[in-house]
Structure 1
Amino acid sequence: MKKIFYLLLIFTFFIQCGNPEKPKAENSVPTNNSAKNLNISILIDLSDRIDPEKNPNPTMEYFQRDTEYIKAIEKGFLDHIKSKKVIQLNDQMQVFFNPEPSDPKMNELTKELKVSFDKNTTKENISLIEKKYSDLPLQIYQSAIKDKKYVGSDIWEFFKNKVKDYCIKDDHRNVLFILTDGYIYHKDSKFSEGQKTSYLTPELVKSLKLSSSDFKAKIQDKNLGFVKANDDLENLEVIVLGINPAKGNPFEADVIKEYWENWFKEMKIKSYQIKSADLPSNIEPIILKAISNKN
């Protein structure tokens, strides 16, 4: 009996030695949605749409709405940062214009607004970002309005030549916010291919007679729209904020949105939203939901 007992002890000992407990990997990062890396870009249309004299709004000026939208984007971004462990951080946010403003001060401000977070980020860094995005965007708009050198908005050229390099990073969720009234125009990029154009203005919409409920059929039948600027942008999400149609055409906003939607589909952008220039209190929940990626 004793022999059997000793044999069992020896047998148990060898089993334990043959199956050592696997050591836990150091600094292992759990895989979950909060660990997803964010790359947020903000493209600002600094055309005369922001001019409070040409396009006044007594409720809230459009440039003020923009700055509040930007604050909401920054809030959503920082909420994401705060939801992650420091070791997981690999996120960034930046602001762009196209064309770039001629004022060197404006370009310096945009450099200040390019921020990134990694494992070396501190709480002080986060507080600094909050202050920057609270103060600097307003300075940019005020400078542009004071200068009054509105050169248009070359969003088409940005998508053609810059969006892949500036706004898309591997192993990131890439989100581009565009603050614009929906019209696109710049003298250096104005051209057409057949019935499609690189621009959209109130005058063009009027000349195409897109002012009745059959505007979709007309757009489809005549093959109207933006010239495709790029391809294979499936790794980019786009959220357009601030659509502000010219008065006089009850379908103007719908035409603008149809142009943008068809353009995005042609460029294989799968996820996009197009929102009107509503009050920031109404737009903020949309922005936060989009950044958090919660359905």
Structure 2
Amino acid sequence: MESVQKKSKKIKDKKPLYILAVFFVFFGVFIYLITRPSNQSKAIKELETSFNKKDVEMVWYKYKSDLYQDEEFLFETRKKLSSLNLTEEEIIECRGWLPPAPTSINLIIIPDLSRRIVDSLNNPNQIDNDLFVLETIWKSFVDYSKLKQNTNDKLIIDVTDIDQAKGQFGEVANKLQFDLSSHKGKSNRLFFTNEKDKQFETSVKEMYKLAKEKPLGADYRFYMRRYLANHLKKPTLFDNYINKVVLITDGYLEAENKPADTKIYGFEKPLHQAVSIGNILKVITANGLNIPKVAIDLSNSEVLVCEVNERRAGKGYDFEILKTYWEDWFKRMNVKKINFIQREQANELTAKRVTDFITK
């Protein structure tokens, strides 16, 4: 009995030592857990020692399952790739295995400010129609962007004629550029003020007032060759863009003092027959009438041609011919998507199709 008591006393005397040992074990485990490298820190360290695209890709796939939604790891991966001076093809390849970057809209509007706007015979009330389309575009852009934050959404209205771009036209055009890329850290709602609405409305009316006083031919082919590329945006590792180009025109490509690009007059008989048969493009190509291709990459661009309106001399035929000319032209320039809208009797139909093009 006495030995049992002694044994019990011994155990009791050592109890504080056991508790202290357990404490040190748990404390050691705790210190190890808080000081051991996390997957994030290990991944970022490996990115720092990556020397080429393949190294970065291997790090990405190694940690992808744990860090796919880790913003810091994703940012460091994009940053490392950006530092490698990759080719455009390599950037496209990397964007294929990286999560999609945020998408911003780059909206480029090029109205035809030629004599069509004062042609009351073929295009009655054309200025009012154009202003309605432009107002619809602005409202659609605002609705598309206002609920977002930290986007690079942009809208610009430009003119095709170099003479129109000078002087007062240039001043007005400068007021028709709305770029949210510098509007960071706050809701886009704060960008779209009543003052912005008024600026847009006043500026487009001023543009058409000036154009009415001096209407010139709309040389879209020259504009695309010389200026459009400067406004297009290419996707990067950090940002994705979709270019949406809106042309407001009757569809007849006839620059001032130049032969028409959409050649119909002089070829009415074969072209009208082609409309009836359904082989318009074949006839255009056989006669060498295709609009010359412009050296521009439109593979990341969608195009809307609206307010297309047949002249009285071509009623029943010209719309299909013009549509074929434009679609063939844009397809040869690799346009991603083409929409072709004729002038509607009801503005509501035009508004819906324009809005769908911008927001979807």
Q: TM-score, normalised by structure 2?
A: 0.67
Please give the per-residue CA displacement for 1:57-86, whole angstroms capped at 9, x wherever unaligned.
Answer: 3xxx2221111111111122222321212x
> 1:253 is aligned with what amino acid?
F
- Deviations along 1:216-242, whole A, 9 cap, x unmatched? 242344343211122432122211111
What secondary structure does 2:294 align onto? coil
Instruction: Give secondary structure in 2 for the equivalent of 1:37.
Output: strand
Alignment partner for residue 153 of structure 2, among 91, 99, 102? 91
The separation in 1 between residues aligned to 2:99 and 2:309, in whole angstroms, is: 38
Match of 1:276 in 2: 342
The answer (yes or no) to whether the contact 2:105–2:152 under 8 Å persists in 1 is yes
AA aligned to 2:330 is F
Q: Provide closer, same or farther for how the CA distance between residues 79 and 20 of structure 1 changes in structure 2, counting only shifts above 3 A.
A: farther
Change (3 A) 1:207 1:185: farther
> Which residue in the other structure is 2:359 paired with?
292
From the superposition, tell whether residues 73 and 169 of structure 1 become closer, same or farther in structure 2 (CA, over 3 Å): farther
Taking only aligned residues, the RMSD between alpha carbons, in angstroms, comes to 3.2
CA distance in 2, matches of 1:168, 1:90: 10
- Residue type of the alignment partner of 2:217: G
1:102–1:273: structure 2 CA closer, same or farther, 3 Å change rule? closer
Offset at 1:168? 3.6
Q: Structure 1 residues 69, 204: closer, same or farther in 2, change over 3 A?
A: farther
Tell me which moved more, 65-74 or 245-254. Answer: 245-254
> Structure 2 matches for 1:197-236, cutoff 5 A?
199-200=261-262, 202-206=264-268, 209-211=271-273, 212-214=275-277, 215-216=279-280, 217-236=282-301
In structure 2, the residue corresponding to 1:237 is in which secondary structure?
strand
Q: 1:292, CA displacement in angstroms?
A: 2.1
The correspondence of residues 231-242 of structure 1 with structure 2, limited to 5 A, is: 231-242=296-307
Gapped runs of 5+ residues in structure 2?
1-14, 42-69, 76-97
Match of 1:194 in 2: none
Give the Cα–Cα distance (whole angstroms) in 2 for the partners of residues 174 and 137 of structure 1. 21
Q: What is the alpha-carbon distance in structure 1 between the residues aligned to residue 305 and residue 291 of structure 2?
A: 16
Q: In structure 2, what is the Cα distance between the partners aligned to 1:250 and 1:65?
A: 22
**Residue number in structure 2 paired with 1:193:** none
- Structure 1: distance between partners of 2:294 and 2:210: 30
**Conserved in 1, the CA contact under 8 Å of 2:218 and 2:255?**
yes
Higher helix share: 2
Judge conservation of contact 2:309–2:319 (CA < 8 Å) in 1. Answer: yes
Q: Greater Rg, structure 1 or structure 2?
A: 2
Task: Tell me the distance in 2 between the aligned counterparts of 1:103 and 1:239.
Answer: 26
| 1:16 correspondence with 2:3 | no
- Report the AA paired with residue 266 of structure 1: R
CA distance in 2, matches of 1:267, 1:71: 29
Question: Does structure 2 conserve the Cα–Cα contact (< 8 Å) formed by 1:153 and 1:184?
Answer: yes
1:243 positional shift: 0.7
What is the DSSP-based 3-state SS (H/G/I as helix, E as strand, rest coil) of the residue aligned with 2:173?
Answer: helix
**CA distance in structure 2 between the partners assigned to 1:170 and 1:67 by the alignment:** 31
Higher strand share: 1
In the alignment, is residue 36 of structure 1 matched against residue 98 of structure 2? no
Q: Distance in 1 between matches of 2:166 and 2:229?
A: 25
Q: Distance in 2 between matches of 1:49 and 1:34?
A: 41
Contact 1:39 1:169 in 2 (8 A): no
Q: Which amino acid aligns with 1:186?
A: A
- SS, match of residue 229 in structure 1: coil
Report matched runs for 1:64-103 at 5 Å: 64-85=128-149, 88-100=150-162, 101=164
| Residues 95-141 of structure 1: per-residue CA shift (max 9 Å, x gap) | 11111427732321111111211235775641222212223212222
Name the SS for the 1:99 alignment partner. Answer: coil
Is 2:204 the counterpart of 1:137?
yes
Q: Could you tell me which amino acid in structure 1 is paired with residue 140 of structure 2?
A: G
Which deviates further from its counterpart, 32-41 or 174-183?
32-41
Name the counterpart of 2:126: 62
Aligned-residue offset at 1:158: 1.0
Match of 1:178?
247
C-alpha separation between the residues in 2 aligned to 1:204 and 1:74? Answer: 40
